[in-house]
Every structure is written in C-alpha cells, then in structure tokens.
Structure 1
Amino acid sequence: MPEFDTLTFAQSGPVTSIVLDRPDAANGLNDTMTRELAEAAALCDTDATKVVTLTGAGRFFSAGGDLKAMAAAPDPGAFVKGIADDLHRAMSTFARMDAVLITAVNGVAAGAGFPLGVSGDLVLAAESASFTMAYTKAGLSPDGSSSYVLPRLVGLRRTQELMITNRVLTAAEALDWGLVTAVVPDADLPTRLQELAAKTAAGARGSQSAVKRLLLTTYAARFEDQLDYEAQLISECANSADGKEGINAFLGKRKPEFS
C-alpha cells in the first residue's frame, strides 16, 4: 500500500478511499499534497477500482491553496503554477478514469477546495459544509477547473457572482444550485459515504464508465456525433459480460451479479 505525507490512501476490494490529511493546515493544497494527489489519482486509474471516495480530515474539506507556502516561495508564480499543474493532473485523471468518484465535503470548501469538492460524479455534503471561491480576496484568479465546471453546473451569472463577490454558499444552497447530490447530517456523512460507495461498487463498471465518457463529450459534440457515440458505447456494453448479465438478470427478474 503506498504511503503519502499529506494523504491517507486505502483500498478495500473495488473501493479506494483518499483523505486529504493536513487538518492543522485546513487541508491546504501545497506542492506536496497536489503532487501526491496526482500520484494517488493515477493509482486509482486501474481495472481493479470501481469507486474512489475523496474527503478531508478534520473540520475542513480544503481551504484551497496554501497561501503561507506561496508567500514563502522564492518565485511565487512558478510555485503556484506547479501546484495548479499537479492539481489539474489529478482532476483530469479523476474525470477520465473508469471508476466513479464520490466526494464527501465534510466542512469548508474554499478556493481550489471548492471545485475539487464538487468534482465528484456524486457529491455528498455535510449540513455544516460551506463553499466559497475566495480567490479574488487574495488577489488570485480561479483554478482547479472552476472556470470550466461551474458555468456548466450553475450557469454564467451565478459563476460570476461566486468568483467576483466570493459569496459563501451553505450546503443547502449548494444543493439548491445543483452543486451537490445530497446533504446529510454531519455525524452521518462517513456512513452515508461508505453506503453510497458500496452501492455504486456493486454496479456495472462498464456502464458507469460509459456514463462518465458520454457526459464529458456532451457540451462539445454535435448532436449526431453524440448519438453515434451513444450507439457505440451501448453496443460495447451489450457485448460485455456485465451487459449480458444485466439483461439476463432483468429478464429473469433477479438481482444482477456484476463482475
């Protein structure tokens, strides 16, 4: 099992769990954490993994970039560029891997912690969680895929408000805006995360991967091209062992047993 300085990484069957683990620094994203997150994401991009869970240790999901580390760097611009590049490498892997990513926002998600927190294919939020961009407060510009993801999730006007005014959203508001899948009581978050991971892991990996791939192309593809891609992927699924099992189980009125 790999060992990291700023993350905890554990595998249990088809489920891999990652915990941002710098609680004394509000799980701030420094150069070590983003590099390790990219390495951890790459380890999840395997046929053996069906679900990845991502949450934070302590009271924060992540307060975003580690401003103390940035201020101490001889060349802040180069330092921040390295952090952003590694974070983006991790997020690209999470988005394109076959496994489903479930994020559990356990507290404050600020700065890059905001887009990272809502980047899951499924997103749980504790009732006490909050979301804010906070970049312009520090004279910085958004990263972490926020300029790509947020307009697609909440629209341009709401994204402008979040980025320019640094509005803080409660978990309930984030749910209303469509940023999270569900809000759960704080004490129930770990259990709900495990339950959702187990339920998702029992599904058909190829089908879930196809959903991810289709949704990645939906905003860029021509209508007919997207239809062709749908036809291609459903054909692949129908020919797979899980597809045949799913069809037979449905016809036999029994629960499928996916690989």
Structure 2
Amino acid sequence: MSTEAEYVRIDDGVLEITLSTAAKGTSLDFAGVAAGTAALAELGADIGAVLLTGAGPNFCAGGDIRDFAAAQDRSAHLYQLADTLHIFVRALDSAPVPVVAAVHGWAAGAGMSLVCAADIAVGGPGTRLRPAYPGVGLSPDGGMSWTLPRLVGAAKAREILLTDAVLDAAEAQRLGILARLTENDEAVLDNARALARTLARGPRASYTSIRALLSRSATATLGEQLDAERDAIGAAAGSPTGREGVDAFLAKRAPDYSGLN
C-alpha cells in the first residue's frame, strides 16, 4: 500500500511532489496528486519552492487509459478525476512560492498540463510533450486550454491541441513551454532540484509578489497593472526582505534572506 511519504518530501526548503510512478506506468498517480494537494494546503514558512517530479522513465505519461475504460460510468469517473486534478492545479496556482517542474521523458495529457502550470520547467534532450487528448477522443483538463495559449499564443495553441502535436525538447523551449534544457537527460532532476533550492533561499516575499502580479496581468488593464505594481513595490520597499535587498546592494554583499520569509 502506498503512503504519502512516497509522494511528498521536504528537503532544503523545497516541497517535492512525485506525480507519477513506474508502478503506474508513469501515468498520473492520483495518490501523488492527493498527497501534493494536502501538502500545499499546509505549506509552512519553511517551504520556499515546489518541485514537481515523476518517478520512472517519464515525468508523466498522462491519465491511466485502462482505468478510464474499466470504469462502470466513464463520464462520472473522468469528471471526478478532473475535479481532483483541478483542486491540485488551483493549489499550485495559489501557492506563494515558485513552482519548478523536472520534465524528463514524456509529458503527455495531464502531464503536459502540469508542465504548463509550472513557473519554470526544466527538460532534457529526450523530453517530449504531447496533448494526447484527441488521440483518445477526449478534451483537455488540468488547465491546458488556459495555460497553453498564454505560453505559445492562441493560434499556436490551437494548432498543437487540434493536431495532437508532439513537441521535442528544442521546440518546447523555443515556444516557451520549457524554460531550460540540460545537456543530458540524466541531469534534469538534479538541475531542477538545484534551481528549486536556489529559489527557496531567495527573497520569498518578492517571489510571492511577482507570481501575484503575473497572475493578475492576464485580465488586468495596463492602468490596473501599473497601480498593482506601484502598490506592490511600495510595500516591498518597507518590508524586511526589501530592506535587506537594498542594504546588501549598497554594502556590496550578498543579501541574506534567511529568517525574513
């Protein structure tokens, strides 16, 4: 029987969530989704970043199609699974810390949706992304129909989704879905972990403000966004994090944000 500890670990200020396992054929493991949602709901001041990973040859190969087919009521089953996944995606979106994804191998279906939900996705030469929904006669979930157009543009998102396009690592980086590529696939997880740990040691209050500003920019007018930026930077300047950052710059030393977040 699986335990929550198999899916969630905390190390050096990083909450690491495993979303797929080799035992599940690297399909989306809902025990990991549930454990991740619970951990995000209890996010403490000791956590400065979230890292999404997969255990096995792929980041996440999408939903378990055999499980879908075996359901007595497929419609009700898929509705419930999507609802559970969306609770997790909402928790990621509302987290006050950066979200990093270590994308090795395939990220298909819901796996690709979760890559698109991350702030920074790290891949390798062998990384492949595919919507996969049209291939089994389904429509997207996990927020892909919202995040993908904002990453690649509306026209390209239509083309990718409607043609069920397979994106190699270079194309995914060119389009902005993957932010970084490692030299080899074996380095993806270590690179993503190092990035998450670096972010966890950074100015968390600043990251929280940046994520909030970026989130609201999708629907705000320029005037509204300018007001929000003014309010945020004014508040940051008087905060312990902002004071330390400015004082460290003037003193020509590295800022120390420990104990301030």
TM bin, normalised by shorter chain, reads over 0.9
User: How do 1:200-239 residues align onto structure 2 when only pairs under 5 Å count?
Assistant: 200-239=199-238
State how far apart, in whole Å, the 2-side matches of 1:192 and 1:137 are: 32
Which residue type is aligned with residue 214 of structure 1? L
Give the corresponding residue for 1:60.
58
Q: Structure 1: 5+ residue runs without aligned partners? A: none
Q: Deviations over 1:102-133 (max 9, x none)?
A: 10101100011101023211110121010001
Runs of 4+ displaced beyond 4 Å: none
1:78 partner SS: helix
| One-letter amino acid matched to 2:108 | A
Judge conservation of contact 2:48–2:97 (CA < 8 Å) in 1.
Answer: yes
Q: Between the two proteins, what is the percent identity of the paired residues? A: 34
Residue pair 2:14, 2:200 contacting (<8 A) in 1 also: yes
| Cα-Cα RMSD | 1.7
Judging changes above 3 Å, is the alpha-carbon distance between structure 1 residues 126 and 154 closer, same or farther for their aligned structure 2 residues? Answer: same
**Which residue number corresponds to residue 173 of structure 2?**
175
**Alpha-carbon distance in 1 for matches of 2:254, 2:3:** 38
SS at match of 2:7: strand
Q: Is the 8 A contact 1:35 1:83 kept in 2?
A: no
Residue by residue, what CA displacement relative to the aligned partner does 1:201-236 show, whole Å, maximum 9, x if unpaired?
Answer: 121000011110000010101211111111111122
Contact 1:38 1:89 (8 Å CA) reproduced: yes
Query: Aligned partners of 1:250 and 1:220: how far apart in 2?
Result: 34
Once the two structures are superposed, what CA deviation does each residue of 1:53-82 show, in whole Å capped at 9, x if it has no partner?
Answer: 111111111111111111111111111111
TM value normalised by structure 2:
0.92
CA–CA distance in 1 between the matches of 2:236 and 2:50? Answer: 22
- Structure 1 contact 61–117 (Cα < 8 Å) conserved: no
The TM-score with structure 1 as length reference comes to 0.93
SS at 1:17 equivalent: strand
Partner of 1:160, secondary structure, is helix
| Structure 2 gap segments, 5+ residues each | none
Structure 1 residues 69 and 110, CA, compared in 2 at 3 Å: closer, same or farther?
same
2:64 maps to 1:80: no
Give the structure 2 partner of residue 48 of structure 1: 46
* Secondary structure of the structure 1 residue equivalent to 2:117: coil
Shift of 1:31: 4.6
Residue 124 (structure 2) pairs with residue 126 (structure 1): yes
State the AA in 1 paired with 2:164. N
Shift of the alpha carbon at 1:164?
A: 1.2
Q: Which moved more, 1:13-22 or 1:155-164?
A: 13-22
Paired position in structure 2 for 1:4 = 4
8 Å CA contact retained: 2:8, 2:35: no
Partner of 2:223, secondary structure, is: helix
Give the direction of change, closer, same or farther, for the CA distance of 1:229–1:168 in structure 2 (3 Å limit): same
Alpha-carbon separation, structure 1, partners of 2:221 and 2:25: 43
1:118 alignment partner, SS class: helix
Instruction: State whether residues 33 and 85 of structure 2, in contact with CA within 8 Å, keep that contact through their aligned partners in structure 1.
Output: yes
Counterparts of 1:130-149 in structure 2, within 5 Å, are 130-149=128-147
Partner of 1:100: 98
How far has the Cα of 1:165 moved from its partner? 1.0
